[in-house]
């Protein structure tokens, strides 16, 4: 949403652009530490599925729509619990089982460059001119720089246009039993227009889906099941920026864009998000995490202490917990080493290690669902560039910089996501034909194919 300045003039002829071409839906699987479950229903010969990916639609928001009388043609919505961080690129890659992106965001730090000193790479415009790889695995999606710009700057108008174009494309692709489509606009609407804006769009989506299914059956005499999935949620509030500079200076860290010495640290903040990756020289992770746990607005700082072990620091270092994974047994154990448990989940481990699926189900309605597993994934699986420390803030706080804050004052910011917090983490998984269960990203396609 922060790309509007200086680019609106590109868009005058945008909505005349043709709809996107069909792309392959085969890809490399992004590994998940959680065991897979079985699909609830197979596809019959006269059964077509539209899998529609909606960026950033929260479980709480969609449930509110159903409770208000919308989406009556759908079964009750279930949460899709994002991995960590609860942002688009790592979660869509897991959902679509595609190769990982280089980092969590297009602007990132490559620590392998310059003989280990590292270098900042990419930028905001890469979101437009070099969209993430997972988009190409959808049969229908924004195509080219202009359509991506439209999705960001004219999010509501172009979002409705994409729905009309999607209907046309789908009715031309009747030989495909499974048709996949991606609408990115919804996250931009949430950020810039708030919950009322996204509720308005969802009302239009409900009407369009009813119309589409009726036309599909009328034209072809066959049933169309529509499955909606989103990658994360959004929490609607006016956030406060986390300021790490003072604490890092007090603890003799030098915040910059390269790692020359043990006291150097790099923070990547290309967008206003409620998480941040930090990079340090090897061996400095624990010291850096302790410093970051002192910062006002920080909930937890996490780092690896072994190949299958992650430590969480909170409350000025007074809280120290550890999770250990045994993937041969599909279990996780969790211990409080000092202070209090920042996730308030230690009670689930009173009898020792817990099955990963059991842990997922037990924490589904907690303030920080599946947090321990998601934290490990964030450090080890969700990008090619592995951070030294990841930080998740308290609800209402975000990581930002002065430039982003200035742009936000002009354009507005109505919602955020990225952290372990439930509303930010829970997307949706819902079907017109089947009761779908709560899921995590890596098993979504098990229920489609």
- Answer whether residue 15 is part of any domain: no
Choose the weakest-confidence range: 74-83, 103-112, 154-163, 288-297: 154-163
pLDDT category of residue 368 using cuts at 50, 70 and 90: very high
Q: What is the pLDDT of residues 183-240, one digit of tens each?
A: 988 998 898 889 999 999 999 999 999 999 999 999 989 999 999 999 999 999 988 9
Judgement on whether residues 186 and 261 belong to the same structural domain of the protein: no
Do 230 and 252 lie in one domain? The reply is no
Segment 256-262 mean pLDDT: 94
In a domain, 260, yes or no: yes
Examine residue 24 and state whether it is found in any structural domain, yes or no: no
The total number of structural domains in the chain stands at 2
2 lies in some domain: no
Q: Are residues 245 and 327 in the same domain?
A: yes
The answer to whether position 37 is within a domain reads no
pLDDT for the residue numbered 32:
47
201 and 135 assigned to the same domain? yes
230 and 301 within one domain: no
Task: Name which of 27-31, 257-261, 434-438 the model is least confident about.
Answer: 27-31
Q: Are residues 412 and 278 in the same domain?
A: yes
Residues 71 and 216 in one domain: yes
65/101 same-domain check: yes
Please check whether residues 346 and 392 belong to one and the same domain. Answer: yes
What is the predicted pLDDT for the residue at 156? 62
Q: What is the CATH number of the domain that holds 147?
A: 3.40.720.10
Please check whether residue 194 lies inside any domain of the structure: yes
Q: What is the value of pTM for the model shown?
A: 0.88
290 & 225 share domain? no
Instruction: Examine the domain organization and report whether 176 and 257 are in the same domain.
Output: no
Q: Is residue 327 part of a domain?
A: yes
- With respect to residue 321, please indicate whether it lies within any of the assigned structural domains: yes
State the SS3 of the chain: CCCCCCCHHHHCCHHHCCCCCCCCCCCCCCCCCCCCCCCCCCCCCCEEEEEEEECCCCHHHHHHHHHCCCCCCCCCCEEEECCCCCCHHHHHHHHHCCCCCCCCCCCEEECCCHHHCCEEECCCCHHHHCCCHHHHHCCECCCHHHHHHHHHHCHHHHHHHHHHHHHHHHHHCCCCCEEEEEECHHHHHHHHHHHHHHHHHHHHHHHHHHHHHHHHHHHHCCEEEEEEECCCCCEECCCEECCCHHHHHHCCCEEECCCCCCCEEEECCCCCECCEEEEECCCCHHHHHHHHCCCCCEEEEEEEEECCEEEEEECCCCEEEEEEEECCCCEEEEEEEECCCCCCCHHHHCCCCEEHHHHHHHCCCCCCCCHHHHHHHHHHCCCCCCCCEEEEECCCEEECCHHHHHHHHHHCCCEECCCCCHHHHEEEEEECCCCCCCECHHHHHHHCC
Q: Domain range for residue 285? A: 240-416
Residue 103's pLDDT is what?
85
167 with 287, same domain?
no
* pLDDT one-digit tens code per residue, 126-161: 666 677 889 889 998 777 556 555 555 555 666 677
pLDDT of residue 159: 64
The pLDDT of residue 141: 74
């Amino acid at each position: 949403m922060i790309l509007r300045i200086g680019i609106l003039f590109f868009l005058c002829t945008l909505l005349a652009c043709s709809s996107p071409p069909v792309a392959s839906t085969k890809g490399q699987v992004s590994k998940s530490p959680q065991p897979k479950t079985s699909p609830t229903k197979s596809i019959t010969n006269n059964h077509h599925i539209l899998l529609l990916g909606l960026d950033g639609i929260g479980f709480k928001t969609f449930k509110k729509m159903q409770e208000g009388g919308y989406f009556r043609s759908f079964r009750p919505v279930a949460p899709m619990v994002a991995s960590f961080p609860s942002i688009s690129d790592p979660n869509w890659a897991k959902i679509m089982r595609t190769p990982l992106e280089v980092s969590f965001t297009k602007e990132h730090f490559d620590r392998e460059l310059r003989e280990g000193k590292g270098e900042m790479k990419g930028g905001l415009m890469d979101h437009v001119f070099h969209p993430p790889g997972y988009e190409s695995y959808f049969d229908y999606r924004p195509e080219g720089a202009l359509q991506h710009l439209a999705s960001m700057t004219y999010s509501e108008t172009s979002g409705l246009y994409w729905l009309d174009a999607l209907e046309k494309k789908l009715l031309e692709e009747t030989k495909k039993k499974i048709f996949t489509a991606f609408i990115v606009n919804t996250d931009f609407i949430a950020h810039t227009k708030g919950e009322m804006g996204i509720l308005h769009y969802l009302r239009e989506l409900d009407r369009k889906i009813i119309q589409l299914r009726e036309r599909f059956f009328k034209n072809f005499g066959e049933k169309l099941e529509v499955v909606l999935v989103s990658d994360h949620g959004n929490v609607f509030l006016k956030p406060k920026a986390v300021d790490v500079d003072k604490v890092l200076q007090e603890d003799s860290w030098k915040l910059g864009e390269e790692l020359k010495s043990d006291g150097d640290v790099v923070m990547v903040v290309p967008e206003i998000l409620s998480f941040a990756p930090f990079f340090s020289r090897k061996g400095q992770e624990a010291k850096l995490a302790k410093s970051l746990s002192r910062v006002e607005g920080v909930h937890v700082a996490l780092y690896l202490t072994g190949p299958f072990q992650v430590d969480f620091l909170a409350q000025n270092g007074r809280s120290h917990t550890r999770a250990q994974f045994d993937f041969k047994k599909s279990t996780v154990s969790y211990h409080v080493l000092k202070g209090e448990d920042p996730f308030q989940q230690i009670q689930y481990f009173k009898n020792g290690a817990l099955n990963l699926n059991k842990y997922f189900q037990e924490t589904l309605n907690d303030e920080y669902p599946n947090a321990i597993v998601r934290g490990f994934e964030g450090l080890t699986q969700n990008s090619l560039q592995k951070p030294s420390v990841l930080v998740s803030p308290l609800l209402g706080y975000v990581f930002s910089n002065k430039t982003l804050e200035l742009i936000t004052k002009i354009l507005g910011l109505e919602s955020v996501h990225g952290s372990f917090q439930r509303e930010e983490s829970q997307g949706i998984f819902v079907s017109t034909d089947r009761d779908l269960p709560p899921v995590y990203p890596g098993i979504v396609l098990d229920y489609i194919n």
